[in-house]
Structure 1
Amino acid sequence: MSSGMTEYNLAQINVGRFIHHRDDPANADFMNALDDVNAIAEQSPGFVWRLVGDGNDATDIVPDESDPQLLVNMSVWSDVDALGAFVYRQPDHLSFMRRRKEWFEKMDVFQALWWVPVGHEPTVAEGMAKIAHLAEHGPTAEAFTFRQTFPAPDGKPAAPVLDECA
């Protein structure tokens, strides 16, 4: 392994529970912006992979059969800095994220970050387990947040990224 390179990428999952039924017109702005926001993500430095269902997004994927209002988004990035730049410094995504409360119920834990070997595409079940782990144990090397990051298993440090929208 060469200096500065890592054998791990950063996986992230975020979930949201719609306030209104997913087909409600109240969610139209959210649903209509998905293709553009996903395209921006895919063109962002450090982007590796994202979960896609039958359409160009993951809105048809049900992460929990007992909770049909729950929506899931998952992606893999080169590192915390790359994901943080997209989440908190990409203007279109940031303005979209700041409207979260219009569409989604408040949830104590709605996002988790964790390291995966390069080439690994995490499953929804894996991501949901990371959210559950974070909810139960708080930030650990197993599942963490932007506020409290952990280095990749090969020791590459990860600097915390302030959560500006908390």
Structure 2
Amino acid sequence: MKDMHLAELNVGRLLTATDDPRVKEFMDNLDRINGLGKRMPGFVWMMEGSGEPGTGNTEAAIGGDPQYVSNLTVWESVETLEKFVWGTIHKQFYEKREEWFEVLGAMHFVMWWVPRGHQPTLEEALARLEHMRTHGDSDYAFGWSHLKQAQMWQSHGCTQAKVA
């Protein structure tokens, strides 16, 4: 995949509004974790919000719901994305996701290959996510298990969220 990069979308729905004390720890660390990602070897691009400190990309409400937040990034390779997700402090925050986010019954994470230089839109990413929800893993839209070169998610992966 020499001429391709890896895009990923991760969607979550906060338990409450972004200014609520119950999600303060998450909101207070958005800039820190996003900044770490941007400095990682292999990072290519991130969908940005307004640029207001401590907001990340929380303004991009999905379906008009301000509690839905998304993270859309592009990476040089599977290995560089894995290193960020499972090999940095990001994992510690991901492990605490149930403190800040609803447990979504449907798949909320998707990856796909994009040509070098392409910056996917949120609409494009959501369409990939919907395709994966409907059809499962394919070369068009996939999760970690679809990538043979992905290794860290198996040994360093996070605990599974408990669905009520």
TM-score class, shorter: 0.7 to 0.9
CA contact 1:63–1:125 (8 Å) conserved in 2: no
TM-score, scaled relative to structure 1: 0.86
SS at match of 1:9: strand
1:1-166 aligned within 5 A: 6-55=2-51, 57-65=56-64, 67-90=65-88, 92-107=89-104, 108-149=106-147, 159-161=149-151, 162=153, 164-165=157-158, 166=160
Aligned-partner SS, 2:73: strand
* Partner amino acid, structure 2, of 1:73: N
Percent of pairs identical after alignment?
A: 37
Structure 1: tracts of 5 or more residues without a match: 150-157
CA distance in 2, matches of 1:53, 1:45: 22
Partner SS for 1:134: helix
Note the residue ranges of structure 2 that are not aligned, 5 or more in a row.
Answer: none
Name the CA distance, whole Å, in 2 between partners of 1:68 and 1:35: 19
- What CA RMSD, in Å, does the superposition of the two structures yield over aligned residues? 1.4
Taking the aligned partners of 1:110 and 1:22, their CA distance within structure 2 comes to: 19
TM-score (norm 2): 0.87
Displacement after TM superposition at 1:22 (Å): 2.3
User: CA separation in 1, counterparts of 2:14 and 2:108?
Assistant: 12
Number of residue pairs the alignment of both structures matches: 152
Report the Cα distance in structure 1 between the residues aligned to 2:63 and 2:79, rounded to whole angstroms: 30
Instruction: Please state how far the C-alpha of 1:53 moved relative to its aligned partner.
Output: 1.2
Counterpart code for 2:67: Q
1:19 is displaced (CA, Å) by: 1.2
Distance in 1 (alpha carbons) for counterparts of 2:31 and 2:87: 19
- Give the C-alpha shift of residue 24 in structure 1: 1.1
